[in-house]
Structures are given as C-alpha cells and as structure tokens.
Structure 1
C-alpha cells in the first residue's frame, strides 16, 4: 500500500516563516551594502587629492567606486 504525504510543501515553495526570513535576509543585506558603501566613501574622502591620484582616482570617482560601478 502506498501513502501520499500532504503535510510537506513542494520544492521551491516557502511558507509564511520562510518568506519572512527571506525578507529579513534581503533587508539585512541591503543595510550591509549601504554601510559598506558609506564606509568606502568616508575612507576615500579622507584621502588627499595627491593620494587619490596615486591610486588612479579623482574625487569624481568616489561615488562610483563606493557603489561598485566600473570607473574605467
């Protein structure tokens, strides 16, 4: 005799707590990305123009570098 288990969810579907967990992880990763960009901007802004030129950057590149956009 075969039994069919109807208490499990199908593959790939999540229940309410799974969706809440996914939303929490997405929120936490967004906050971490924002904080990383903020920290990078602050560190690059603390450098002098000469130091930025030594590493091949200018003040105009700081925002792009902090957000992960390609500069070159």
Structure 2
C-alpha cells in the first residue's frame, strides 16, 4: 500500500477565483441594499401626508428612513 502526503497550499488560481467570488458577492449585496431602499422609498412616497403623520414621519425623512431601514 502506498501513501501520498502533501502539504501544498491552494493554487493561485483558487485564491484568484475566491477573490472574484467575494467581489461578486459584495456587488450583489450592494445592489440588494439599494433595491430595498428603493422599495421602501417608493412605498413611503405613495403615502399621503396624513398617513405619514400617523406613523410619525414627514416627507423630508423618507430618504433617511429608506437608507437606515436595516439598522433599526
């Protein structure tokens, strides 16, 4: 019975593809956050001033709320 043992590290191509994959994931995440903010902004913009007042907002706060949605 023969045994083959090696201590090689990952090939450079695997490291490169890992970095490319990480970059793609970062871009997808950024697009997802932007889209969530867009949907929130559109939904709040469709409300009347009275409805916004009922939930404690005004038109000037819509962008702030849309961008901070995930941090509450």
* TM-score normalised by L of structure 2: 0.79
Paired position in structure 2 for 1:44: 44
Paired position in structure 1 for 2:28: 28
CA distance in 2, matches of 1:24, 1:34: 15
SS in 1 for 2:56: coil
Which structure has more helix as a fraction of its residues? 2
Equivalence map 1:1-72=2 (5 Å): 5-6=7-8, 8-9=9-10, 15-68=15-68
Equivalenced residue count is 62
CA distance in 2, matches of 1:39, 1:57: 17
What whole-Å deviation, never above 9, does each CA across 1:28-51 have from its counterpart, x for those lacking one?
A: 000000000000000000000000
Residue segments in structure 1 that go unaligned for 5+ positions in a row: none
Shift of 1:4: 5.6
* TM-score normalised by L of structure 1: 0.79
Q: What's the C-alpha RMSD, in Å, of the aligned pairs?
A: 1.6
Q: Comparing both chains, which one has the higher relative contact order based on Cα–Cα distances under 8 Å and sequence gaps of 6 or more?
A: 2
